[in-house]
Amino acid sequence: MADLEELYREIILDHYRNPRNRGELEPPATRTEGFNPLCGDEIVLSLLVEADRIVDVKIAGSGCSISQSSGSLMSAAIKGKTVEEARALIGTFKQMLSLGDNDEVASDAEPAPINLRSLGELAALQGVAKFPVRIKCATLSWNTLAQGLDESGN
């Protein structure tokens, strides 16, 4: 039960019930879709990047509390950040879940210390690491972000 409460922190439930930056953006914003075939989670990420800065972001789609709250938390975290900062955040977020850049499970070696404070509210998703099946739900929006940044030439 303790693990469950750690998984479903109040912040996560709040972002699930009241997702931030909900919706889609018109062009020239880019639109990237992400799917988690395992449970049918879908994310539609709209990104408006101007002068290497994410000036606006919207998230649409449907799925479980972890995938949707992760998307909501991510949108709040990256809005206004530079592309470089957003990319760094993807890495830190995955590191928190003990994942490498390509979602491989990090080795048993002592993980590099992460600055959880740099993640802010995103640190609420740390409990997901104890539920391996749900990690894909948490990373869906982040992988979609990486793809979206690539596709928008950033």
Residues 123-142 that bind another protein (CB under 8 A): 131, 134, 137
Candidates 63-71, 95-103, 109-117, 144-152: pick the segment binding another protein (CB under 8 A). Answer: 63-71
**Cα-Cα-Cα-Cα dihedral of 77, 41, 138, 23, to 10°?**
10
Residue of 23, 24, 38, 84 that binds another protein (CB under 8 A): 38
Q: Alpha-carbon distance 122 to 143, whole Å?
A: 15
Can residue 3 be called a binding residue for another protein (CB under 8 A)?
Answer: yes
DSSP secondary structure, 49-71, as one string: EETTEEEEEEEEEE--HHHHHHH
Can residue 4 be called a binding residue for another protein (CB under 8 A)?
Answer: yes
Structural contact between residues 124 and 12, judged by C-beta atoms closer than 8 angstroms:
yes
Query: How far is the CA of 66 from the CAs of 40, 97, 150, in angstroms?
Result: 13, 13, 24
* Nearest to another protein of 13, 105 (CB atom): 13
Residue of 44, 56, 65, 79 that binds another protein (CB under 8 A): 65
Residues that bind another protein in the complex, under the rule CB under 8 A = 1, 3-4, 7-8, 13, 16-17, 38-42, 62-66, 68, 131, 134, 137
